[in-house]
Chains A and B, each alone.
Chain A
Amino acid sequence: MVLHGHLPFVRHPEHEDFLEEDWLYEAITETYIPLILVFEKLIAEGIDFRLTMTLSPTLILMLSDSLLQERYLKHINKLIELAHREIERTSWQPAFRHLAVMYRDQFCGARDTFQRYNRNLVGAFRKFQDLGKLEIVTCGATHGYFPLMDACRDSVKAQVKVAVDHYREVFGRSPEGIWLPECGYHPGHDEIFKEAGLHYFFTDSHGVLHGTPRPKYGVFAPVYCRGTQVACFARDLESSKQVWSSIEGYPGDYNYREFYRDIGFDLEYDYIRPYIHPDGIRINTGIKYYRITGDTQHKEPYVPQRAQGKAAEQAGNFMFNRQKQVEYLYNFMRKKPIIVSPYDAELFGHWWYEGPLWLDFLIRKIACDQDTIRLITPSQYLRENPRNQVITPSLSSWGWKGYSEMWLQGSNDWIYRHLHFASERMTELAKSFPQANGNIRRALNQALRELLLAQSSDWGFIMGTGTHNNYAVRRSKEHLLRFTRLYEDIKANSIDEGWLADIEYKDNIFPNIDYSVHQ
């Protein structure tokens, strides 16, 4: 199982309250902390497990940033206050009151956990990796979408090298593998992974299934890329569909919590005003009282015990299906198959409230109730099964329609001429200044930071979905314009130190970045 944790770098020190920073706070409360609590309990009870997890560099940077940590505390304190008010407000509504208590306890627990790890949750995941339970893989530095950066491969190199260097600083070891942003693979990029010392990456199923030559074992064994020996693991769609599918998937069960019924939207404006955006815009608070109930607008109150029972049942079902799948495959393959089930980490807890609970049940059942299958990491599988087929995987992604359309359509195709040209200029700068020092070096490093931030696939994605368009467009333009100004200032040898210091403070990713990797 692979959990991919990523959020784009959103940090606005120039504003006291910034709506989009909420993305991080929500994910911390609803996904990362619940997962940490699940892992802690499993370890405390001596239950063995192996999971693969991505923590993208931008996510790590934000979790480690003191300003954002401070703001998170403010955020969670506000939520706890809201939960207290809710307990009072629902005193005469037993169906809701116990839920308000549940949220209050959850938020208090989140604050405690946050403090326990000295406000830096990365420490928790590092601990789990050091204990041998998690294999943390890296990702693109700012989650750039590599297939559409092939026209400027130096940028792909920079995305990978910066990420790997940063990983070493944070985890004290080199990463074994990489989760490609959006599973976006372009043939030839494995050379870059190899150069960076990475041993494997992941693709969507058709990345391997449509590879050349045809893979003998489909997606149920990794393949080596021709020429580089970098291994490629492909997603298994059957296990994926059980969780992802909007029609058959587990999260759609009628007993589970309804995502779209949040008190931020449901309750009276004056009451909820202090807890939504200061400009008065209604937002998700995380307190939701209803369950999915059915394919209907009418929603019934959420009943946690029923949801828990369902989660346990579905975990059993998932395990049973994997056992059957593996047994069948082994008879067919005569080789131990691997089933790769990757999910966005934010699916667990944030979108699918019961997700972490389901995962907990699943891990326990696999560890204690059977011995047909076991959880394994890619590195371990390669150690135990080193002989694999050689193919060239296909260009692919796990995005909408399986290729690059999500990031290359009317709403976002305009960005590439600017990104590609900026990338060419960055290479030109790196080559022109092989041994820069002082302010020029600072400017060169910042130029690479701005370019990387502009390349985040999240902006293109958001433009493609049509919501938050303004913000995504603004971020792309802002970073490109900052880059251009830096480029011109460096060429003219006239750095505006005040302005440089200002954007260094605002766009403060990768403190130890080295601009020379971009060539």
Chain B
Amino acid sequence: MAILRRVKGGLHKMARKKKILAPAKAGKIITPGKTAESKKEVPGTRETMVEQAKFSHPQIKTCPGRDYAQELPFQYERDKIVLQVRDPWWIHAYWELMRQTLERLKDELKDDFYRAKRVLRVYDISQIIFNGSNAHRFFDIEVGEQANNWYIDTAGPGRSWCVDLGLLLADGRFFTIVRSNAVHTPLEGPSWITDEEWMIPDDRFARLYGMGFGLGRSSPVGKAWQEKVRHVLSSGVSSGASAAKRKV
């Protein structure tokens, strides 16, 4: 936490420094008394407003006559739960269960089924290969029988998540009905990792390398030669070549 505070302070300092060099007399348009409000401007609001203006006509009450009266099916007869990420904190799950699956569960669990709660079990599976029982932690959300989707507040940006739809039996046992895909929530701020890695793309490097030997793309041999170098770079054969050299 201490490191993050320092970083945040550093960034703030940078912002302040920039302001000194962009003096107000440059004629920047700032409506007096509204600057405080501008800090509260939610990202993307303005873009949304302008994009909305593209569709700038009022809604007509009746759509022109259609032979279209069909509705999309309520569900597709499968046992499935899908997770999606909404933002660093929230994920969304939608699911459906086949009637047969529920019937089978009723048969298997008998009375326990009716006393059980239908539950979403949300697992934090960051940086592990999840086998069903090795999550760092989990929490349960009780969902009604009629529910088929849910917004989940993970309160954990930058983590990986997986969700089981299951039954929490009265004796505390959890019975997984169906398991979701894994998702990863983005960070809500700059990364803590600062190790830098730099590169030039293979084709660009191939050209520079070639130019160093007078084998630029304009030379008849150059183009073919660069293709060869690019292939070598991207297939990692070069390390094998240098090993051969050492032998000699």
Q: Chain A residues in contact with chain B, CB under 8 A?
A: 7, 12, 15, 18-20, 22-23, 26-27, 147-148, 150-151, 187, 204, 209-214, 216, 224, 226, 229, 242, 244-250, 252-253, 259, 277, 279, 281-284, 313-314, 316-317, 320-321, 324-325, 327-328, 344, 346-347, 350-351, 382-383, 386-391, 394-406, 408, 413-414, 416-418, 420-421, 458, 461-462, 465, 467-471, 474, 477-478, 480-481
A245 touches B22 (CB 8 A): no
The answer to whether B50 and A214 touch across the interface, beta carbons within 8 angstroms, is: no
Shortest C-beta distance, B188 to chain A (Å), equals 7
Assess A421 versus B41: contact at CB under 8 Å? Given A246-B46, A321-B26, A477-B71.
no
Q: Assess the A481–B22 pair: CB atoms within 8 A.
A: no
Stretch of B84-92, B103-111, B132-140, B161-169 lying at the A interface: B84-92
**Bound complex: CA A414 to CA B84 (Å):** 13
Give the chain A neighbours of B43 by CB distance below 8 A: 204, 398, 400-402
Chain B, 164-213, CB within 8 A of any chain A CB: 181, 184-202, 204-205, 208
The residue on B at minimum CB distance from A409 is: B86
Q: Are A150 and B84 in contact (CB under 8 A)?
A: yes
A95 to B43, CA, bound (A): 39
Residues of A within 8 A of B248 (CB): none
Taking residues whose C-beta sits less than 8 angstroms from the other chain, chain B's interface range is: 35 or more
With A216-B196, A245-B41, A247-B34: A313-B27 Cβ-Cβ less than 8 Å:
yes
Give residues in B with beta carbon < 8 Å to A: 17-18, 21-22, 26-31, 34-35, 37-38, 41-60, 63-64, 66, 68, 70-72, 75-76, 82-88, 90, 92, 94, 96, 149, 181, 184-202, 204-205, 208
Cα distance, A470 to B66, chains bound together (Å): 13
Could you say which residues of chain B place their CB within 8 Å of the CB of A321? 22, 26, 28
Q: Complex formed: what's the CA distance from A148 to B92 in Å?
A: 11
Query: Are A387 and B187 in contact, CB atoms less than 8 angstroms apart?
Result: no
* B36 closest partner in A (C-beta): A247
**A470→B42 CA distance, assembly (Å):** 27
Cβ contacts under 8 Å, A148 to chain B: 84
Distance A15 CA – B44 CA, assembled complex (angstroms): 35
Given A23-B54, A27-B54, residue A253 in contact with residue B195 (CB < 8 A): no
How far, in whole Å, are A226 and B54 apart by their CA atoms in the complex? 36
Asked if B204 contacts A481 (CB within 8 A), the reply is no
Bound complex: CA A386 to CA B207 (Å): 11
- Given contact pairs A281-B60, A400-B44, A405-B90, a sample of 9 additional A-B residue pairs in the complex whose CB atoms are under 8 Å apart: A23-B54, A244-B47, A284-B57, A317-B28, A320-B26, A320-B27, A344-B54, A395-B185, A468-B57
Q: Which 9 A-B residue pairs are closest in the complex by CB-CB distance?
A: A403-B87, A213-B193, A386-B204, A395-B186, A400-B44, A390-B197, A212-B191, A244-B46, A247-B38
- Cross-chain contact A467 with B201 (CB below 8 angstroms): no
How many CB-defined contacts (below 8 Å) exist between A and B?
240
6 A-B pairs whose Cβ atoms sit less than 8 Å apart in the complex: A187-B184, A211-B191, A229-B202, A248-B31, A325-B18, A470-B59
CA of A417 to CA of B64 in the docked complex: distance in angstroms? 27
Q: Are B60 and A277 in contact (CB under 8 A)?
A: yes
User: Which of B21, B34, B58, B76 contacts A327, CB < 8 Å?
Assistant: B21
> Does B41 contact A481, Cβ atoms closer than 8 Å?
no
Q: In the complex, which of the residues A213, A346, A406 contacts B191, with contact meaning CB atoms closer than 8 Å?
A: A213
- Of B44, B193, B199, the residue contacting A212 (CB under 8 A) is B193
How distant is the Cα of A394 from the Cα of B87 in the complex, in angstroms? 11
Q: Is the CB of A400 within 8 A of B63?
A: no
Please measure, in the bound complex, the distance between the C-alpha atom of A344 and the C-alpha atom of B198, giving whole angstroms.
Answer: 32
The answer for the CA separation of A159 and B63 in the assembled complex, in Å, is 29
Q: Which of B53, B185, B187 contacts A351 (CB 8 A)?
A: B53
Residues of A contacting B192 in the complex (Cβ-Cβ under 8 angstroms): 214
Instruction: Note all chain A residues with C-beta closer than 8 A to B199.
Output: 224, 229, 387-388, 390
Within 8 Å by CB of B72, from A224, A398, A402, A481, lies A481
Do A324 and B48 have beta carbons less than 8 Å apart?
no
Residues A245 and B38 in contact in the complex (CB < 8 Å), given A394-B187, A470-B59: yes
